[in-house]
Structure 1
């Protein structure tokens, strides 16, 4: 329901949303906590900000503002294309090569991202798990300890505006333990940069997750492609057993 009708979460109480889908208010709050939010109100506030951005943003076409409504899907896709191109032009190839090498050589990889960044962390863990073993998704509702990781392990963190404290504290502890930290974030002054060995920043004009996501997934795809080439691995999405194992973790 959150993806199908986000306005319901933006306008209704947790109790009302729960009643509409046949679950308790407590279940809705647990769902919010599982995504890394402190409670329903924090999730609701972020949804309202995203919806506001959708309704008020002026998308550009060939560098010129347009007030046309409804928005053209071509304009939006061109905007994403521009953001991806700008980010690619500002990325350091040496950082990308180093990140690929560190992940390929790592004895284990932990991937973290909460709030709107959680789907990115989830997908990256899923895809990386098809290329190499011992990849783990950070879940704050479980007891995640760094005891199983070594100074040969890698932490990959997705940290965007409204920066959740959990991944930042995790990165801090990982650095103390000697893990190599790779961060995806929205600005060079993001809190996560203090603890990251390599930082990939987005070159986009706003703080909208709707613009973060396409660029981030493109960056992840480039990183995974490099890992596949360097490790001589091929992603086989027909490996049903491995996929099922991932989803029941």
Structure 2
């Protein structure tokens, strides 16, 4: 292979391969924040004023809230606990909205988002740039992950340049090895496709088990409520019996007082009669 051909291939690869740098990402985030802030300002120019940093912070907060709610939905077997009952949270849906009040609005936007950061396209319009920035802002978790990806991309690019510096014979050997690797990978893909249905059955079994756990816990909660109601009824009956006993005791005391009063009146009459007799004598 001639040196001119090698150089042409190198230049072509460098043009088609874009290495994400930290300053590129910061530029994307800045464009996203300014554009969103500008659009929000158009909606209500008189009373709505917000900075691009505030937009970025709010988007990050919404994304974190959505992820927490989504993670909870993946483990709903725990159901509603005592702390939720204190907050008057009675359903799974209510707990999800308690974690992220805008879950219903965010779910259609975030649920099916791309799993990888899109590559930069030098010919794209501003709207494509904004879309890439938004996708990156939502999907990225930390700058450390970005640095790791950049190192991997740089290492891969260096390896590509090293391979192109070998002579034609070595290139053919490498290409043959790549072909063998591709055939092996293709065979692995076929094997994966054949066995893809098994995990689905396992997932279905897990879902069924979780459903049974939820139903069992709901039944236990139902029994608890029933037991509490029975205890409350018995407590009410006991209080009612106590009140009746107290009423009877008061009635007895009142009757005793009446009888004592009559006795005193009789004794008083006797004394009066005795005094009259003594006066007559």
TM-score band by shorter chain is: under 0.3
Greater helix fraction, Structure 1 or Structure 2:
2
Q: Per chain length, whose mean CA-contact separation is higher, i.e. which structure has more relative contact order (CA < 8 Å, sep 6+)?
A: 2
TM-score under structure 1 length normalisation: 0.24
Which of the two has higher C-alpha Rg? Answer: 2
Greater strand fraction, Structure 1 or Structure 2:
1
TM-score under structure 2 length normalisation: 0.22
